């Protein structure tokens, strides 16, 4: 407009063609957003339009200099007057279609990869927190086995086997799913590891002893409310100590897990706890002695243990 002036700019037909083309391209992009099913058609049309734009602009520019009154008939006659013009038009059309088909294929694979990535992320988050997944992308050794100190927490539904004996499988599954959902929400909120579910048992672990103890109390209170309508309750056990943490399993099947006597001890404490009880090992109690100064204690002869375990009731 600055170079030619507004009147001259408006009177030039190739300007109208260019802006019409731009408007059509914008509408095609809008169509992709509103109608994803039309994506492939839109991609084809955009590529054909891009390739045809320049020969059409060239033809209009040439004709506007030769004809005083540019018309569709004159435009068509221009293309038909020379076989080279027809060749250029058809070659451009074919090139646009080929480019469009190539982009359609690329878009198809891109959509497929995004779908697979979303699915893999969802499946991965069943076992790992988003933070752990992000860490594994930056550090390929994040899941390797390593020795660490952890607080292990076990929770188990008391009387579950007898209760489920005469219940419909659908009711049992519904109750367990409610139990699992409640446990996971509380554990994740207290920065615990994604819980493992084994039948009516929940197992998780923590780096921070205070978070583990707070989680145990919250779980007990939540389970009492949730399981009471079924006539059930849960017992919990916690212990602190060294474990091996990382991917464990065979060459083709692995889970992120922990192993060690610390895990076994926490499980034995959980098994000894009654309905609504939390048993904490002496080792964990010594980490927060002020919290267990007046707590009742019990000596437990746990299976597989030579010495009795001292358990504090939380």
Would the pLDDT of 78 be above 90?
A: no
pLDDT at position 9 is: 54
> pLDDT tens-digit profile of 226-265?
999 999 999 999 999 999 988 888 877 778 788 999 999 9
Would the pLDDT of 141 be above 60?
A: yes
pLDDT at position 133 is: 64
Would the pLDDT of 98 be above 90?
A: no
Higher per-residue pLDDT: 258 or 135: 258
pLDDT at position 114 is: 82
Residue 308: partners with Cβ closer than 8 Å, 6 or more residues away: 299, 300, 301, 302
CA distance 214 to 220: 10
pLDDT at position 101 is: 81
pLDDT at position 150 is: 95
Would the pLDDT of 306 be above 60?
A: yes
Mean pLDDT of 61-80: 61
> pLDDT tens-digit profile of 265-301?
999 999 999 899 999 999 999 988 888 888 888 888 8
- The pTM of the whole model exceeds 0.85: no
Instruction: Please provide the average confidence, as pLDDT, over all residues in the chain.
Output: 81
Residue 272: partners with Cβ closer than 8 Å, 6 or more residues away: 235, 237, 279, 298, 300, 302, 309, 311
From the number of C-beta atoms within 10 Å of its C-beta (0-12, 13-18, 19+), residue 223 rates as: buried
Domain with CATH 3.30.70.1230 in the chain: 139-313
Beta-bridged to residue 280, according to DSSP, are 238, 312
Mean pLDDT of 116-124: 71
The class level of CATH for 139-313 reads alpha beta
């Amino acid at each position: 407009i600055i170079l030619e002036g507004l009147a001259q700019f408006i009177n030039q037909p190739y300007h109208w063609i260019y802006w019409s083309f731009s408007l059509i391209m914008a509408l095609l992009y809008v169509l992709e957003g509103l109608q994803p099913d039309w994506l492939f058609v839109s991609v084809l049309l955009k590529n054909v339009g891009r390739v045809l734009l320049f020969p059409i602009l060239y033809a209009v520019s040439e004709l506007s200099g030769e004809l005083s009154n540019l018309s569709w008939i004159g435009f068509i006659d221009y293309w038909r007057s020379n076989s080279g013009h027809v060749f250029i038009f058809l070659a451009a059309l074919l090139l646009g279609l080929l480019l469009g088909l190539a982009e359609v294929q690329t878009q198809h694979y891109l959509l497929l990869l995004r779908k697979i990535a979303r699915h893999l992320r969802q499946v991965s988050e069943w076992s790992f927190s988003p933070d752990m997944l992000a860490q594994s992308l930056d550090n390929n050794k994040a899941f390797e086995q390593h020795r660490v100190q952890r607080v292990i927490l076990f929770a188990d539904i008391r009387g579950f086997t007898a209760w489920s004996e005469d219940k419909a499988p659908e009711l049992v599954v519904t109750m367990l799913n409610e139990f699992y959902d409640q446990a996971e929400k509380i554990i994740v909120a207290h920065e615990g590891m994604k819980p493992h579910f084994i039948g009516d048992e929940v197992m998780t672990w923590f780096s921070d002893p205070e978070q583990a103890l707070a989680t145990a109390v919250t779980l007990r209170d939540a389970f009492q409310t949730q399981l009471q309508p079924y006539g059930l309750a849960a017992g919990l056990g916690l212990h602190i100590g060294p474990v091996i943490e990382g991917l464990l399993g065979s060459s083709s099947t692995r889970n992120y897990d922990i192993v060690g006597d610390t895990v076994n001890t926490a499980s034995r404490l959980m098994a000894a706890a009654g309905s609504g009880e939390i048993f904490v090992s002496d080792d964990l109690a010594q980490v927060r002695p002020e919290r267990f100064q007046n707590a009742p204690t019990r000596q437990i002869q746990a299976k597989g243990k030579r010495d009795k375990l001292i358990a504090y009731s939380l």
